[in-house]
Amino acid sequence: MKIEKTLHSRIKKMDFNNIDFGNQYSDHMFCSEFKNGKWKNSIIKPFGNIMFSPTSLVFHYGQAVFEGMKAYKDQNEEVFLFRPEENFKRINRSAVRLEMPSIPENIFMNGLKQLINIDRDWIPKNYGQSLYIRPFLIATNGVLSANPSKDYMFMIISTPTDTYYKYPLKIKIEEKYSRSAPGGVGFTKAAGNYASSFYPTRLANEKGFDQILWTDSSTHTMIEESGTMNVFFYLKNKLITPKFNDNILSGITCKSILSLAEKEGFFVERRNVSVSEIIEGLQTGKLKEAFGCGTAAVINYFKTISYKGNDFDLPNLAEKKRISLYFKKRLLDIQHNRSEDPFGWRVPLKRYF
């Protein structure tokens, strides 16, 4: 792989005490092109603008998929990735559904590891902070007919991060709009899934809600996920999460919490979750906690859930008593190499140079 290092690092301008997600990018980016049926020209180069024909399919028909993952430091500033093979598998599941070529494992993993190694100074040092990594695949072929592109670009960029949602969330159960539908692309990280959520989310924001709790598209009676998070409910002493299906992104954070919870003897249920049982749990006090989880979000608990114009507040538990914060610490401890890693999720990043 070709490596062109920047002569003008921007790291001195990075204020690690005031991290603003997605507003500062590390010095380098990785690019690999898919042309004439072959992957070629893999390169790490200075972060900068890219140029494509205005007819590129990504601009017109939204042939674009992405991933979100993180690199963490431990107290000795050794660097770890968290379950990167899961992101590799998921971007290719997304690519297949969007009729895009699969990314070979060596291109994904070498690009990722070498890029993060070169930009390791951009990984914040503090517990709870990390470098958010954004691999993405876009259609670059310039033919305006509505057919899959012939050419693609796979890229990786990264941005330092700490907390994505800064406070407990007020959530609205959606009854009109849908994020996804059976047979659709809800289970993928297709760029268009996010574009189509912006309008209903703005409407919800204007009414004072932080996020939407999506429900199934035909009946709006079954819970799916929220914003950029999978959701958990601590109901009648059971940790319950909607079972992954066509409509729900199979979150790596969610899967990790489930594995930890099962190993530690919590009662866990992965099943269809109805709006009515959640509302009943809120009314009877049997729903102790509800929270969302995801790579960017980590774990965020909900303070209010609103349904049909009624706001239901969740119990105002002490932080020490919150199952959400227990799992947040369990995950962060594993990610930052502060505890055993019983499932082998941490991938140490060797120093390549």
Q: Is 94 in the site for ligand PLP (CB under 6 A)?
A: no
Nearer to ligand PLP by C-beta: 63 or 226?
226
Determine contact, residues 151/92, Cβ cutoff 8 Å: no
Determine contact, residues 131/26, Cβ cutoff 8 Å: yes
Of the candidate residues 80, 169, 294, 327, the single one contacting ligand COI (CB under 6 A): 294
Question: 199 — phi, psi (to 5°)?
Answer: -65, -55
Closest CA to 26 of 38, 16, 39: 16
Of the candidate residues 230, 241, 335, 337, the single one contacting ligand PLP (CB under 6 A): 230
Minimal distance, residue 158 CB to ligand COI, in Å: 12
Of the candidate residues 119, 162, 225, 289, the single one contacting ligand PLP (CB under 6 A): 225
Q: Is 295 in the site for ligand PLP (CB under 6 A)?
A: yes
Q: How many residues bind ligand COI (CB under 6 A)?
A: 7
Q: Which stretch binds ligand COI (CB under 6 A): 95-103, 152-160, 218-226, 290-298?
A: 290-298
318: Cβ contacts below 8 Å, ≥ 6 apart: none
Pick left, alpha or beta for residue 101 (phi over 0 → left; psi -120 to 50 → alpha; otherwise beta): beta
Q: DSSP letters along 5-36, please?
A: --SS--GGG--TTS--TTSS--SEEEEEEEET
Q: Is 186 in the site for ligand COI (CB under 6 A)?
A: no
278: Cβ contacts below 8 Å, ≥ 6 apart: 173, 223, 233, 235, 287, 290, 305
Q: Is 92 in the site for ligand PLP (CB under 6 A)?
A: no
Q: DSSP letters along 249-265, please?
A: ---HHHHHHHHHHHHTT
Say which entry of ligand PLP, ligand COI, none residue 94 contacts (CB below 5 to 8 A, set by partner kind): none
Closest CA to 230 of 217, 247, 205: 247
Q: Is 68 in the site for ligand COI (CB under 6 A)?
A: yes
Q: Is 281 in the site for ligand PLP (CB under 6 A)?
A: no
Nearer to ligand PLP by C-beta: 86 or 311?
86
Q: Is 211 in the site for ligand PLP (CB under 6 A)?
A: no
Say which entry of ligand PLP, ligand COI, none residue 101 contacts (CB below 5 to 8 A, set by partner kind): none
> Residue 164 is encoded by which pair of tokens?
């994505």
Q: Is 294 in the site for ligand PLP (CB under 6 A)?
A: yes
Nearer to ligand PLP by C-beta: 52 or 194?
194
144 in helix, strand or coil? coil
Binding mask 212-241 for ligand COI (x = CB under 6 A): ----------------x-------------
Q: Where are the beta strands (DSSP E) in the chain?
A: 2-3, 28-35, 38-46, 64-66, 69-73, 79-82, 130-139, 152-161, 169-173, 211-215, 223-226, 230-235, 238-242, 268-271, 287-294, 298-307, 310-313, 346-348
Say which entry of ligand COI, ligand PLP, none residue 32 contacts (CB below 5 to 8 A, set by partner kind): none
Nearer to ligand PLP by C-beta: 118 or 239?
239
Instruction: Catalog residues that contact ligand PLP under the rule CB under 6 A.
Output: 68, 225, 228-230, 249, 251-254, 294-295
Instruction: Catalog residues that contact ligand COI under the rule CB under 6 A.
Output: 68, 194, 228, 294-297
